[in-house]
Amino acid sequence: MEDLFETHDALAVAELIRSRKIGAREVLDASLEGLRTANGRLNAITDFYEGELLEKSVAAAGNGPFQGIPFVVKQLMADCAGTPTTVGSRFFANEPVALHDSAAVARMRRAGLVIVGRSNTSEFGLAPTTEPAFGGATANPWRADLSPGGSSGGSAAVVAARALPMAHATDGGGSIRIPASLCGLFGLKPSRGRISLAPIGETLAGAGAQLCVSISVRDSAALLDALAGGEAGDPYRAPDNEGSFLDATRRAPGPLRIAFLRKPVGWESMDPALVAAVERTAKRLEALGHHVEEAAPDYDPGATGAAFGTVMCANTFTNIQGRANGRVPGPDDLEPVTRLYAEQGGKVSAHDYIRAVQTFHRTGRQLGAFFGKFDILLSPTIARTSLPLGEVRMDDSLEKYEEGLAPMVPFTSVCNAAGVPAMSVPLEVTEDGLPIGMHFVARYGAEQVLLSLAAQLEQAHPWRHRRPHGAN
């Protein structure tokens, strides 16, 4: 049982449980023991379910494809009945417990997942690292002085350590894909409206999404099957596809038209190690029969980034006000950057906000035109090879914070603005053995194309054997 998730992904373990080759309780007990051990090193789990709460979670799990698989849910964008959702903030540490599951969490349970805890996140998910003042920093299993990325770093750390085969993650500007890249995992951000965010609103003007980080492509695909679909009245709903997302991983994608970037749009250059990684990946894709050429979408990254700032600040202010129920944050209740974002957000006019949303829509149309010519856009996931803890700070000036943020999101955030699906695939490594994620983007609604390509790459260039030293 100790190395179960080293040799089996979630679907494989669920099949062992279903066929009674191992017991669900045996898996649960061993997983909780491994999680607690890993958490002593990583500080990735904020809350473990125990006693009656754990037993209710066991009882609520259905007989779906992930029957009996332990799972953690990020402390952001998802409510779990019986526990508070702190959004990584001291100000909300004593929130009342949620009375009901979010729509996606209810679907997780029906799929058979046993929720055993909540994973760490940056405050309000604002940082591309996971170092909240409330709860403390999460370490990367690959090296303790490095960040696992953010804001889904808690989930990514426990999966990279093989304490779980997959874990819940959310993405408002790259927060699934950045940790997946830094932790050597697979991470797919679905299309806008693919998975309902009910009962909360549209989240960052439609930029927010959720799914998981995982050790296998097929686990992410099967979870997407389980979670996909809207709820009554949802503001967005992605188009239906023929067949399942899991089925897409079982068939070849066929020859694809793939464009690649040697640098972020609007940048002069990029780290030569990342350029070389893109070029190697391009050659691998050519060897698999795809047409590959250098090309970039035509959009204004400065305008898109400014629109993101407007939307993020306004949402931060509104979310704090809405959750506070009249309480006013004290001087130590919010991290300095969060407070600055909220203060700026309180000054955003209706005109400014509408213009920002219109910029998102314009960017979506510009990417839509690009994907009329190409099926896939390839780049690195982030514009650096690693992220030391303490380098992106929430306790300094807004200028310093944004300076640290810039190389983390130049490939990822445009996908959130446009609502298109994108994934980080752990195909490359640095000279000293750290993982490098390759970023693949497709047209709106084309998750099946991404998953089919990812499965092809996973088979041709396996990555699951690469794991941190000392991982469970």
Structural domain boundaries enclosing 369: 4-460
Average pLDDT over the chain reads 97
What single DSSP character describes residue 144?
T
**472, pLDDT greater than 60:** no
Enzyme catalytic residues: 74, 151, 175
Give mean pLDDT, residues 434-459: 98
Burial level of 284, CB count in 10 A (0-12/13-18/19+)? middle
Report which residue type is found at 359: T
What are 396-409's pLDDT values in tens digits?
Answer: 999 999 999 999 99
pLDDT tens digit string along 217-253? 999 999 999 999 999 999 999 999 889 999 999 999 9
pLDDT tens-digit readout, 10-22? 999 999 999 999 9
pLDDT at position 202 is: 85
Structural domains of the chain, count: 1
Asked whether residue 467 is domain-assigned, the answer is no
The C-alpha atoms of residue 323 and residue 312 are separated, in whole angstroms, by: 16
pLDDT in tens, 132-182: 999 999 999 999 999 999 999 999 999 999 999 999 999 999 999 999 999
pLDDT band at 201 (very low <50, low <70, confident <90, very high): confident
pLDDT at 471 over 70: no
The string of pLDDT tens digits covering residues 168-184 is 999 999 999 999 999 99
For the stretch 335-359, pLDDT in tens is 999 999 999 999 999 999 999 999 9
pLDDT at residue number 241: 87
The whole-angstrom separation of Cα 29 and Cα 278 is 42
Whether pLDDT at 83 is above 50 = yes
Residue 470 has pLDDT above 70, yes or no: no
Beta strands 257-260 and 291-294, pairing class: parallel
pTM: 0.98
Give the whole-angstrom CA distance, residue 407 versus residue 179.
14
Give the CA distances from residue 421 to residues 8, 255, 277, 379, in Å, rounded to whole numbers and listed in that order.
27, 19, 22, 14
Has residue 304 got a pLDDT over 60? yes
Q: What percent of the chain has pLDDT over 70?
A: 99
CA–CA separation, 256 and 300 (whole Å): 26
Integer Cα distance of 354 and 350 in angstroms: 6
Q: How far apart are CA 158 and CA 153, in angstroms?
A: 9
| pLDDT digits 0-9 by tens, 320-338 | 999 998 999 999 999 999 9
Please report whether residue 131 resides in a domain. yes
Q: What is the CATH number for 168? A: 3.90.1300.10
Inside any domain, residue 418: yes
Residue 411 predicted with pLDDT over 70: yes
Residue 7: Cβ within 10 Å count: 10
